[in-house]
């Protein structure tokens, strides 16, 4: 995307496992990028402490009481930090119009199941794995996609297939998918930095 290290901003509501893997790769010189900001809607999110430990500025921006104000604050924080690409790492809030307008085609999310069939409002975490098991499909997986104004709707950037075993439960399938997500996110970012994956051109 650029000759300069990609400046990453992270949004996480809980542990931020993918964020941690990405920051570790940056620290090891394995990814030509720079983490510059981490934001959570949850003041107790372990992801915030992990970001601080990695040298990132971290902020808590609650969204529940005033979503419009939080949207503006988040857009300003990401812009002021000079973020090139926003990485959602288990961020459990819908992004508002100001953030989406500030980073068109530059916000990525990972979804723990095949899209579009197992996506949409309310389809997250265990609900996705329950739906996959109930549908009797042979493969689940994860999809990294561009975030737009609709849940799980933006263009897919990369897909990872995970076979569904005959004796799988939502819990066992979820554990396998979750374990693969951080490395999948990291490898996708490497491909973006290397120019092997092109993000959609902003309108």
Please state the length of the chain. 203
Q: Please report the pLDDT score of residue 1 as a whole number.
A: 47
Containing structural domain, residue 48: 1-104
In this prediction the pTM is: 0.93
Identify whether 18 is part of a domain: yes
Please determine, for residue 3, whether its predicted confidence score (pLDDT) is greater than 80. no
Angstrom CA distances, 8 to 36, 100, 107, 123, 158, stand at 6, 16, 10, 26, 18
Are 145 and 109 contacting, i.e. CB atoms less than 8 angstroms apart?
A: yes
d(Cα 111, Cα 133) in Å, to the nearest integer? 16
Known catalytic residue: 129? no
Please determine, for residue 20, whether its predicted confidence score (pLDDT) is greater than 60. yes
Identify whether 95 is part of a domain: yes
Identify whether 38 is part of a domain: yes
Please determine, for residue 58, whether its predicted confidence score (pLDDT) is greater than 60. yes
d(Cα 28, Cα 87) in Å, to the nearest integer? 19
Q: Which CATH number characterizes residue 93's domain?
A: 3.40.50.170
Q: Please report the pLDDT score of residue 201 as a whole number.
A: 65
Catalytic residue, candidates 111, 129, 145, 153? 111
Q: Identify the band that residue 198 occupies on the pLDDT scale cut at 50, 70 and 90.
A: very high
Number of structural domains found in the chain: 1
Identify whether 157 is part of a domain: no
Average pLDDT over residues 101-130: 94
Identify whether 37 is part of a domain: yes
Please determine, for residue 202, whether its predicted confidence score (pLDDT) is greater than 60. no
């Amino acid at each position: 995307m650029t000759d300069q290290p990609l400046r990453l901003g992270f949004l996480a509501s809980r542990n931020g496992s993918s964020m941690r893997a990405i920051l570790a790769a940056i620290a090891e010189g394995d990814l030509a990028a720079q983490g510059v900001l981490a934001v959570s809607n949850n003041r107790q999110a372990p992801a915030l402490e992990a970001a601080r430990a990695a040298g990132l500025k971290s902020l808590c921006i609650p969204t529940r009481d005033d979503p419009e104000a939080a949207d503006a604050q988040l857009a300003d924080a990401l812009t002021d930090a000079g973020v090139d690409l926003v990485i959602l790492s288990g961020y459990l809030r819908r992004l508002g119009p100001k953030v989406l307008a500030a980073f068109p085609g530059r916000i990525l999310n990972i979804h723990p199941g095949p899209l579009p069939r197992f996506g949409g409002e309310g389809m997250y975490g265990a609900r996705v794995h329950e739906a996959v098991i109930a549908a009797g499909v042979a493969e689940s997986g994860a999809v990294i996609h561009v975030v737009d104004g609709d849940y799980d709707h933006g263009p897919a950037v990369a897909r990872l297939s995970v076979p569904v075993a005959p004796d799988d439960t939502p819990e066992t399938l979820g554990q396998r998918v979750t374990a693969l997500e951080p490395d999948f996110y990291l490898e996708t970012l490497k491909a973006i930095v290397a120019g092997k994956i092109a993000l959609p051109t902003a309108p």
